[in-house]
Amino acid sequence: MVLVVVERDGDGTLTEDSAEVLAAARDLAESLGVPVGAVAVGEPGELPDDLVKRGVGRLHLLAHELLTDGSPACLGEALAGLVADLRPAAVLAPSTDRSTEAMAWAAAELGMPLATACTEIRPGDDGPWEVTRERAGGVLLEDAALTAPIRLCTLRPGSPSPSETAAADEMTVHVVVPELRASVPRARLVERRERAAGMTLTTAPVVVAGGRGVGSSEGYAVLEELAGLVGGAVGCSRVATNNGWRPHADQVGLTGTRISPDLYVACGISGATQHWVGCMNARSILAVNTDPEAPMVTRATWAVIGDVHEVLPAVVDEIRRRSGR
């Protein structure tokens, strides 16, 4: 069996990442000649219907009060028990924080390796499997040999997937009550605050971001103005957060937020690797920089060579002039 750890949205439906992992699992299972199983937490809801049409014939539902608050460590412990019982050929999970953490705990408990952030899995005949995984936020790819009786992997979104999946003939649902030791000290969720609605860096179609070239926290006013005019959000590079010009929540990059807007406007950002991995999935990039050789400029779709504080006010004026605002 190839076992897939699936996640659900707040409304109980399968997440997009999980659907992608299921597609990859289907491919892998076919090449191994084994079925696909899934494991999830909580009540079945719509999940069996959702899974059967994706070729999953068996669903294991983990039921335990310690799992209701979504603790990855508890999930990992429960997962390790299930995996030890089922002995699947592989366990695949989306590379979200929650699943990665749960898989890390499960791997430790099972005494097995875990390959995180994989983009491809190539099973070996008898020897080790080979995986391709993202390093340094995806700017480098690593081919690695994975030697284990059960191959544990988390998958990055955008992994190759088949076009058509045959539905499974039937679905069997097994409710599993994991043995979670009461004596073990655990972290527990004590408070949950919903994020305020509104545009965020990850959902904005346009992100106007500034780096060293903006020069000061006051310098972001013109970026705010442009973002307002184009219905976008303001982002920044690590230099800006380190200088205290912007809050860390605005930071685009390896250690900030990774975004994929339609347009990324990079103002006075040189484009170091740490930043690049945060914006490389943008559909298009407009760079504004005084240095025509800056990596951000040479990798951009469009570029304007010049100072942020000369270029952006002129762009803002031009937008206002054309729209008569």
Contact by Cβ (8 Å): 210, 233: no
**Please, which residue, 36 or 263, has the CB nearer to other proteins?**
263
CB of 185 to other proteins, least distance (A): 5
Place of tokens 């729209």: 323
C-beta of 224 vs 307, nearer to other proteins: 307
| Smallest separation, CB 113 to other proteins (Å) | 3
Least separation, in Å, of the C-beta of 265 and other proteins? 9
**Least distance in Å: CB of 108 to other proteins?**
4
Query: Which pairing describes strands 129-135 and 140-146: parallel, antiparallel, or unpaired?
Result: antiparallel
Residue 267 has which token pair?
């103002």
Q: 41 vs 44, 63, 88, 117, 265, CA distance in Å?
A: 8, 6, 18, 22, 41
Between 169 and 323, whose beta carbon lies closer to other proteins? 323
CB-side neighbour CA atoms (13 Å) of 153: 35
Burial per residue of 100-124, b for 16 or more beta-carbon CB atoms within 10 angstroms, e otherwise: bbbbbbbbeebebbbbbbbbbbebe
Measured from the CB atom, the residue of 21 and 168 that comes closer to other proteins is 21
The pairing of beta strand 284-289 with beta strand 263-267: parallel
CA 238 to chain centre: 20
With H, G, I as helix, E, B as strand and everything else as coil, classify residue 207. strand
Least Å from the CB of residue 135 to other proteins: 6
Q: Tell which residue, 42, 45, 37, has the closest CA to residue 63.
A: 42
Q: Which is nearer to other proteins, 30 or 307 (CB)?
A: 307
Residue the block writes with tokens 């920089």 = 289
Taking the complex as a whole, the smallest distance from the CB of residue 167 to other proteins amounts, in Å, to: 29
Nearest-approach distance from CB 191 to other proteins, in angstroms: 4
**Residue 240 burial (10 A CB sphere; 0-12, 13-18, 19+):** buried
Q: Are 64 and 175 in contact (CB under 8 A)?
A: no
Rounded least distance, CB 250 to other proteins, Å: 10
Using the minimum distance from each CB to other proteins, give the nearer residue, 30 or 101. 101
Q: Which is nearer to other proteins, 192 or 218 (CB)?
A: 192
User: How many other β-carbons are positioned within 10 Å of the β-carbon of residue 203?
Assistant: 10
CB closer to other proteins out of 36 and 110: 110
- Return d(Cα 38, Cα 48) in angstroms, integer: 10
